[in-house]
Structure 1
Amino acid sequence: MNIYTFDEFVNESMVTYKRKYTDKYPALSTYGNLNKRNAILKTIVDNNGTLTEEEIDNFFGNKHNSSRWFKHNKKYISIEEDKDGNKVYKLTKHGQRLFNTLNTKKNDISESEEIIIQEGLSINYKEQGQKKVNIFLGRFQPFTLGHIKVLEQIHKENGLPVVVLLIRGKKIDKEKSPFDEDIQIVMFEALQKEYSFLEAIITIPTAAIDVIFNALRPTYEPVLWGFGTDRKAGYKKQIENPKYRQELNVLDDFNGYEIERSDEDISASKVRQALLLDDENLYKSLVPKSLYPQFSVLKNIINAI
C-alpha cells in the first residue's frame, strides 16, 4: 500500500509536482493549503479509496494538525466507520470530482501513462527520422482484436506502417499488467506475421512527447499519433503546442488522430479474465489468431500472479 508522507507531498508548505527533468528545466513547485488538500486526495485514491485515522495522523505529523485541517475540508473528505467500527477517511462526491478534475488538468492520462508537466523538452535528435510512420501508445496487456482494429484504422488513414509504443512506467500493477516486456515483444512479433502494417514495437517509460521522439528518431518520424477519445485532451495539448512543435522540428502534417472508442472496445481485461477462468474459447474470440498458441503461456503467468 502506498502511504505518502506529509514531507513527501507538502514539504512543510511546498509541493513539488514535477520531478527534476533537466538542470535547465528544474522541478516546478507550488505553495499553499490547496496542495495539501490535493496531496491528501491523491493519497486516498492511491490507497484504494480509504485511509485509516492512524495513517491520516501520520501524514500530518500529529492528531491536532489533522483534526484542524479536516474542519476546513469536510466538503471533500468524509469520516466513516468500517465494518469493525474503525474510523476511515474517504472522498465525498465533491472530493472525487475535484480529484478527477485535477488529474485531468495535470495529466489527462491513465495510471500507466504518465505525462510529465514540463517547461522545456529534452531532445536527443533535432533532425527528422528517416521513415514516416504512424504511432499508437498503450499497455497492451495483452494485445486484443480491439487493439488490432485500432492499429489498422490508423494505418488505413494514410497507408503508413504503425509503430507501437509500449508504455512501461516504474510502478506497475501486476494484476492489470501481468505480462512483462519480453512476453509483450513475443506477442508483437507473432502479430507482425499476421499483420504486415505493424512496423515495430518500442518501449518507453512515459507518454511525454520528447520521450516519444527520442525513442523514434533517428529511424522513424511520426505523422499521425493515434489515440482514443479518453486520451484526446492530454495528447492533443502536447501535439498542438507550438513551442514543442518548433523545438522538435516535427513534420508540418504531424497531427493527432482520434479514434472514437472506449476501454470496453479493447477488452484486455476480458482477455485476462478468460485466462483466469481457463476459458480458451473466450480467449480465442478476443485475440488475433496469431496469439492462439500462447494461451497456455499467458494463462500460467496470470495464475502465478
Structure 2
Amino acid sequence: MKISEFTSPLSINTPLLIAQVKEGVTNTGSPYLSIYFRDNSGEIEGKLWDVKERQSAIIKPGKVMNVRGDVITYRNALQLKVLECSDIEGDIDMQDFVFTGPYSTETLKKNINEYIKEIQNQDIFRIVSDIYRTYEKEIYSSAAAVRNHHEYYGGLATHIYGMLKLADMICTNYPYLNRDLLIAGVLLHDIGKVIELSSAPLTEYTLEGKLLGHISISQTIVKDSADKLQINSEEVILLRHMILSHHGEYEYGSPVLPLIIEAEALNFIDNFDAKMVMIEKELRTVADEEFTMRSFALDNRSFYKHNIK
C-alpha cells in the first residue's frame, strides 16, 4: 500500500523509506522518535513511543524498513503511530521510494537543449553549452531542493524547464529584455545545486553545500567555464550577477540585489515557479472546499482548495 492511499483509521504493514529521524523525550521522561517516512507517492510523519535502544540503533535515515503501525488523524493531518520497524531481507527496488517528476529525462533533455541551441550570443552559448556538457548527468538527476519544491529525482531540470517556458512568454511580452541573457540565467541560476545537494534516494546538503551554498558555487562554475574557454567579456560578469542576485533580497541569500532588468525578471520567474509548485503540492493533501495546513515556506499561510471547474 502506498502512502497516498493511507486513510484514518487504518492499520498498515508495508515497506517505507526512512527520510528523517528526530529524537525526543516526553514530559514524563520517556524517549520517542519522530520518523518521517516516504515512498514515491508521498510522505507521512510517524511517532514511535517509548522507544528502546535497540530500535534507535537500527532506525536510520536512508534505510527502507518494513513498518507496522496505525494511521491516525492528529491536528487535521494524517500521522502514523509506529508499532514496529524491522529490516527487510532481499532486494529492494529504490524506484518505489524515490519521487519523480512529470517529465521523463529524455523529454527534459530534448526540450532544454532546444533552448540552448536558440542562444544567439556566442560567448553565452559557449559557456552554457560547456557547463551542460560537463554536468549533464547531474543536471538531469539532481533535485532542486531538500524540501518545499521540486525535491525529487530530476527536480532541478524540471524546475529549469518550467522557468524556461515562463521566460519565453515574458520575452514575448517584454521584447526589450535580452532573451539570451534571461534564458542563460534560467539555465545557470541553480547549476550549483548539482554540488550543493546529494543524490537520491535522500537529498541532503553536502559539505560544500553547507559551507558555500549553491549561489556561490553556481557563479564559480560560470567563472571557471569562461576562464577555460578564454572568454573575458561583459557577458560573463552579467551572467555571474544574475546568479548572485537571483534570490532578490539580502535576507534570502543573495549577496547583491538585481541591478539589470534581466536579473529582476529572473528573480520573479524563479519565485513564481517555485511558489506555484509548493502551493499545488499543499492542495493535493486536502479535499475540495478545505484549507491546507499552514506552510512556513509560504509565509505561514493555509490555502483554500475550491472546486470550481
Q: TM-score, normalised by structure 1?
A: 0.28
Q: TM-score, normalised by structure 2?
A: 0.28
